[in-house]
Structures are given as structure tokens and as C-alpha cells.
Amino acid sequence: MEALPMESNPDTMNKYLQKLGVPDNWRMVDVIGLEEEALGWVPRPVLAVVLLFPLSDAYEVHRTIEESELKTSQEELPKNVFHLKQVLSNVCGTIALVHSIANNDNKIQLVDGLLKSYIDEAKGLNSAAKGELLERSTAILEAYKDLVRSTSHETEQTEEPVNYHFVTFIHKDGHLYELDGRKDRPIDHGPTTAEGLLEDAAKVCREFIKREPDNIGFNVVALVPAQ
């Protein structure tokens, strides 16, 4: 099926998450800047950080080098990280949200619904199989289409080229992981804590921006408790 690309818009994301069964005591909020003062405005605790960035040659080169180094390093896959590969086009926004919730389902009390069913079925599968299962979980993708149709003037959105991509950063077992559906595995960015997730993820986001000095197409949101 054909999916609609997602905007990095917390209001739309929150409505979508609620349709999928995420309780309204958790929500996505804008991160207005990546420096210390701006990060201080973000409610805590932060469970996940989602970066929207431009797909570019620089990203593809970096991704190729990174994955090649991982293959030669023989680094073990983290056991407790929920990571899925992107199979369909235009679903990286949904994947980023799934990564955010599935890796925090010990803190978020999902109600019975589309997302809980998907996560329960996907646990134990490898990244590729998780991606294929999402492809077959058409109700999850249709829920976003229905939301867009009911809340916006979306018309020709599916025909325009999508040149942006979402990735998620989470804390798991003392490490900062980058979860990208276009990569074969989670990327371990080193030690972090639940309390330091936002600051450490912001450092990695700044590295993304540094690779694209002439591009302003970046946006960051975080999964936090509703105030």
C-alpha cells in the first residue's frame, strides 16, 4: 500500500499516537534548540528524541561507511532494543514513533489497540521481519491517512518527492541508540542515562547538522509526559 509522508508536527503526531492506543499522558513536543538553555525548556523525563533531517549524498556516504565499519567490528546486536527495518516508502515517520513507544512500553501503558497488537506480535522478530510485519499492518498506516484527511487540506501530498527522513534516539541499558529504519541495526552512540538522554541525543543531532552546513531542513521533537 502507499503511505503518506508524515510532518514533524507534534500536534498531528499526538493525535496519531492516541489513535494507535498511546494514552494522552504522553506526548511529543518541539525541541526548539539543541543548546543547553533551549534543552532546559523540555519537560522531563524524556523517553525518546526524534530527528527529522534532509536525505542527501552526505547522509548516504555516512550510512555506508558506518554500516561497513559495524560489519567488520562484529559488534553484538543489543538484545533489548526494538528496531525495525523500513520496507515501504514514506513510513519513516510512523517507524520513528513506533521506535519511540516500543522501546518504552515498560513506562507507557498502551491500551489495547493497533500499536499494542503490533508490538506484541513483533517482539522476538528480527529487524527485517518487524518491518515486514508493519507493512502488513495496514490499519496502522490507514489510521494516519484517515487523520490527515480529517484534519488538513492534504491533496497532492503523495505525488511529491519526499526528501526527508526521521530517526529516533532512545536510552536502553545505559546506552544511547540511534534507530533508523534505513539502517540494518541500531547504532550505539555510547553511554548515556535516562536523565541525560536529551542532552546526549542533542550532541548526535548536532553532528547530523554539521554534515549539512548549507541545509536548514532539520527539526527535533521529544516524547515527554503531558503537563
pLDDT tens digits for range 207-226:
999 998 888 889 999 999 99
205 in active site: no
Q: Which residues pair with 188 in a beta bridge?
A: 177
The number of distinct structural domains making up the chain is: 1
Mean pLDDT in residue range 60-82? 86
Q: Is residue 14 included in any domain, yes or no?
A: yes
Using CA atoms, how far apart are residues 42 and 37, in angstroms rounded to an integer? 10
Q: Is residue 5 included in any domain, yes or no?
A: no
Q: Is residue 131 included in any domain, yes or no?
A: yes
Q: Is residue 3 included in any domain, yes or no?
A: no
Closest alpha carbon to 104 in 113, 115, 112: 115
> 56 falls in which pLDDT band (50, 70, 90)?
confident
Q: What residues have CB less than 8 Å from 168, skipping those under 6 apart?
A: 48, 49, 50, 51, 96, 99, 100, 103, 178, 179, 180
Rounded to two decimals, the pTM is 0.93
Handedness of CA 92, 170, 195, 47 (dihedral sign): positive
- CATH number for the domain harbouring residue 213: 3.40.532.10
Provide the percentage of residues in the chain whose pLDDT is more than 70.
Answer: 94
Q: Is residue 167 included in any domain, yes or no?
A: yes
Q: Is residue 208 included in any domain, yes or no?
A: yes
Name the active-site residue from 83, 99, 165, 171: 165
Contact 132, 87 (CB under 8 A): yes
Q: Is residue 45 included in any domain, yes or no?
A: yes
> 153 falls in which pLDDT band (50, 70, 90)?
low
Name the active-site residue from 92, 99, 171, 205: 92
DSSP alpha helices (H): ranges in the chain?
A: 10-20, 36-39, 57-73, 92-102, 114-122, 127-136, 138-151, 197-210
Mean pLDDT in residue range 88-96? 93
Using CA atoms, how far apart are residues 127 and 151, in angstroms rounded to an integer? 32
> 157 falls in which pLDDT band (50, 70, 90)?
very low
Residue 21 is predicted with a pLDDT of 97
Q: Is residue 2 included in any domain, yes or no?
A: no
> Can you give the residue range of the structural domain that contains 53?
10-225
